[in-house]
Amino acid sequence: MNNAKKRKFFTQNLMLWNAEHNYRKMPWKGEKDPYKIWLSEIILQQTRVEQGLEYYNKFIEKYPKVELLAVADENAVFKLWEGLGYYSRCKNLIASARIIAFNYEGIFPNKYEDILKLKGVGPYTSAAIASFAFNLPYAVVDGNVLRVIARFFGIDAPIDSIEGKKMFTALAQTLMDAALPALYNQAIMDFGATICKPQLPLCSICMLQKLCAAFAKNNVKELPVKQKKLIKRYRYFYYIVVEYNKKIYVRKRISKDIWQNLWEFILVEKKEQIPVEEFIKSDDFTSLFKGKIMKTDTTIFYKQQLTHQTIVGTFIYLKSKQPLINKLYVTINREAISTLAFPRFITNFFEKNTDFKV
């Protein structure tokens, strides 16, 4: 069978599966409001549907229109995003909401190229919004799509290489049902999520099995191919939770690093992990205060795996009779802590430390 016929078989059978067997339900499925589609796509970047759904509903309830999100207090938006991770998405969400509200007078851009110019919007997200909201013929290419195409056509080109990305994007465009782009895009993503799954794909009931190259060669598990291996590093954070005059020292992370725009306690980062007893005798610790401090009350250890790094944290909770020397930190009442957006790494401290109630 030539390539044209194989592509036709792929598209026809995928659409047939969608019509007869696709029962996957999501609240934004069939949605035509570009604002809601954009919001769902940004939330689902690097996030499982099960987790993202709760945040999507919270955002829609609090900010039902883009104009409300555009004028919202930034800290309130970050607080609503708290726990979702990859906080640059939230920063871009706010920036793009303002672009739409003020540059486009609240009307979401309806051209692929204009959508692509929004902060935090790449080719996939732009194609998703363009097709789902405006029925424009742009094929989405996400992890599900790459996996389905790689297996069906037996492509071993790395999906994360420049050549691979160009190849898969071009092929995805030729496979798309140009008359029904929204329906097709949703179908292939759902197919990848429910049938052609990363692990334990349901090949026995797959409507594409007849011409699937990976199934024929028995190498379904080997596709798709990635060339890059993540190099992960360890970082050692010593968080000092200082209470002085019944107030807590905090600061906002402003540097271009993880958790930008979120709040944190006093932080000392070390290149390697050292015992707490040794740390509290070091200059890093003692130089923070003008005089002696009271004995530390609680020490908690916590580890979090991020995409490219592992954060190993030590939380040291203490009460001080002396103010902090470092002026980068401000004091807030305990009650105010609950109004600030902290990274999940720190909210775990609240949950695990029963002595520290906010």
Please give the positions annotated as active site.
41
Token reading at 213? 């190259």
Token reading at 219? 């190498």
CA distance 238 to 92: 29
Q: What are residue 332's DSSP bridge partners?
A: 248
Provide the 10 A C-beta neighbour count for residue 300.
17
Provide the 10 A C-beta neighbour count for residue 321.
12
Token reading at 195? 């049938």
CA distance 296 to 326: 19
Q: What are residue 313's DSSP bridge partners?
A: 237, 302
Residue 175 zone, left/alpha/beta (φ > 0; ψ -120 to 50; rest): alpha
Compute CA distances 215 → 42, 71, 145, 167, 200, whole Å. Answer: 33, 52, 17, 21, 13
Token reading at 332? 């807030």
Q: Label residue 78 exposed, middle or buried (CB < 10 Å: 0-12, 13-18, 19+).
A: buried
